[in-house]
Structure 1
Amino acid sequence: MAGDPRPTIAVTGATGRLGGRVARLLAAQGIAQRLAVRSPERAPELPGAVAVRCAYDEPAQVRAALEGVDTVLMVSGSETPDRVEQHRTFIDATAAAGARRLVYISFFGASPDATFTLARDHWATEEHLRASGLATVVLRDNFYLDFLPELVEADGVIRGPAGDGRVAAVAQDDIAEAAAAVLTDPYEHDGATYSLTGPEALTLTEAAGVIARRTGRAVRFENQTVDDAYASRAGQAPDWQLDAWVSTYTAIASGELDGVTGDVPTLTGHPATSLDDLLARAQGGPR
């Protein structure tokens, strides 16, 4: 790939949906970047971008990949039982490589006792990052707005123990724009934690109504008990993953995913995307 072989920005996760969006936004601005990915052959070919092999759990590989980089965007790793340990390894190796700053994609309301089990992983990662000596910027995104339509099962039902709780889900495009804004002027954001949300907090009943209206399908939400939620998903994944799936809904029920912030408009300069707007754009129709 063309470009400066020693750019000052590195983007991880560029073969995925979020990291790839960020990389394309930076490339469109003419910003050189290093795409630090597990499989360089799968990295997008972008002007000014250089792909290098970088697995979170390979510290020597991380140090080599990030040598000469000033600012690193860390998209959280794949959901595995050892994800926190991989994150810690990556952070330590990033500091050892001489980077000054790490921008971490975390999760809304990350805490050691969060209902959503994977939010606890993000909290542990944040704690390690703060102790690393690196300048830090934390982007805590709510659940992906893009994910809500994927909750609809083949029979048109969203099922889970979410009750009447609300979720301020945020579009991946908005997260990517916020991250790109931070990366293009990182010194202005050192030490900041941003909570990225959509412009509204919806119940899953309301979300089902929006999806139904935009798609023309009959879509509804069916509340489950926690026991029913586990029973209906039994045998589909390991226990830790079942806990993550079910706690997606119980975190909504608890109110921990409610609350709209202005951080997306502040960072991107435009209103956050609503579910209705997201679906309208996907269909190419009027908003």
Structure 2
Amino acid sequence: MTTPLLGVTGSTGAVGGRVARDLADRGLAQRLVVRDASRAPRLDGAEVATASYRDGDSMRAALDGVEVLLFVSASESADRMTEHATAVRAAAEAGVRHVVYTSFLGASADCTFTLGRDHWATEGLIRESGMAHTFLRDSLYLDFLPLMAGEDGVIRGPAGDGRLGAVAREDVARVATAALLDPAAHAGRTYDLTGPEALSFTEIAATIADVTGRDVTFHDETVEEAYASRAPYDAPGWQLDAWVSTYTAVHAGELDVVTDHVEQVTGRAPTSLRDLLSRG
């Protein structure tokens, strides 16, 4: 049986890069779709195609012959939905049969986390395209949590005592690889990808402090304080809304979710925050 050509976007990033390396280690042919070929990883069996989600013609050319595609969501921007719509249409027109898309936990038209609404809309575009699909609804990334602390070691946001079942990017990558390797087994499936536990930001800060020795604490802001403390960054409104709603989604309980989907798909228990930090 001929192995279908796999396409991987986001190979210059953390999730897509891990997937691309895993596929190469297995000796599988793949096409890395990147905006800048000079940044693409050099992997055995991997060809590189230059394309942008914003450019339908370049995407169609890059995806010609690809049957199964890892579609890593575009970087946050004011017009990310335009990029996604262009990329999905190009994939369908190029003949892609199955899309594995990195979505967000609890994605819906009215979820609290504003960017989760974009993911819901993108899922809809993929469904409507007629391509088979697998949706990976990732919680917030464990890897990102230490970066949420400011230079003073304080994590600030209106999360209250809400809890968060954050997931390691390496676990998301393993699930994505499994779906690419056996798309038929994962067709039509939506996986809620979380870590093994849900922690409050107070507990997250305490864990980071305990493992790293850094003095890290959590300060529960009001929503008004959250916007005010981020105002010096002079970010556009959509970006401020995304930053603040990360915390209000936790406060609302929408990310207080722990599933066994990582282990169900990969056969391995998901990584905890303590384990991730302990590796250095």
Match in the other structure for 2:243? 245
Q: CA deviation at 1:7?
A: 6.3
Which amino acid in 2 is paired with 1:203? S
Residues 4 and 68 of structure 2 are in contact (CA less than 8 Å); yes or no, is this contact kept in structure 1?
Answer: no
> Is 2:171 aligned against 1:174?
yes
Q: CA deviation at 1:68?
A: 0.7
* 1:48-67 CA distance string (max 9 Å, x none): 10110110011111111011
Match in the other structure for 2:11? 14
Match in the other structure for 1:278? 276
> Is 2:159 aligned against 1:162?
yes
**Distance between the aligned counterparts of 1:131 and 1:34, measured in 2?**
25
Match in the other structure for 1:3? none
Match in the other structure for 1:227? 224
Question: Tell me, which stretches of 5 or more residues in structure 1 are unaligned?
Answer: 1-5, 283-287
> Is 2:134 aligned against 1:106?
no
* 1:205-242 CA distance string (max 9 Å, x none): 00011101001122111100000000011141111100
**Distance between the aligned counterparts of 1:155 and 1:69, measured in 2?**
47
Residues 7 and 70 of structure 2 are in contact (CA less than 8 Å); yes or no, is this contact kept in structure 1?
Answer: yes
Residues 205 and 220 of structure 1 are in contact (CA less than 8 Å); yes or no, is this contact kept in structure 2?
Answer: yes
Q: CA deviation at 1:119?
A: 0.2
Residues 7 and 33 of structure 1 are in contact (CA less than 8 Å); yes or no, is this contact kept in structure 2?
Answer: no
Question: Tell me, which stretches of 5 or more residues in structure 2 are unaligned?
Answer: none
Which of the numbers 209, 213, 231 marks the counterpart of 2:210?
Answer: 213
Q: How many residues align?
A: 277
Q: What does residue range 82-231 of structure 1 map to in structure 2 within 5 Å? A: 82-231=79-228
Structure-2-length-normalised TM-score: 0.97
Q: What percent identity do the matched residue pairs reach?
A: 58
Which amino acid in 2 is paired with 1:118? L
Which amino acid in 2 is paired with 1:154? E
CA RMSD after TM alignment? 1.0
Which amino acid in 1 is paired with 2:44? P
SS in 2 for 1:234: helix
**Distance between the aligned counterparts of 1:85 and 1:217, measured in 2?**
41
**Distance between the aligned counterparts of 1:279 and 1:55, measured in 2?**
34
**Distance between the aligned counterparts of 2:258 and 2:230, measured in 1?**
31
SS in 1 for 2:202: helix
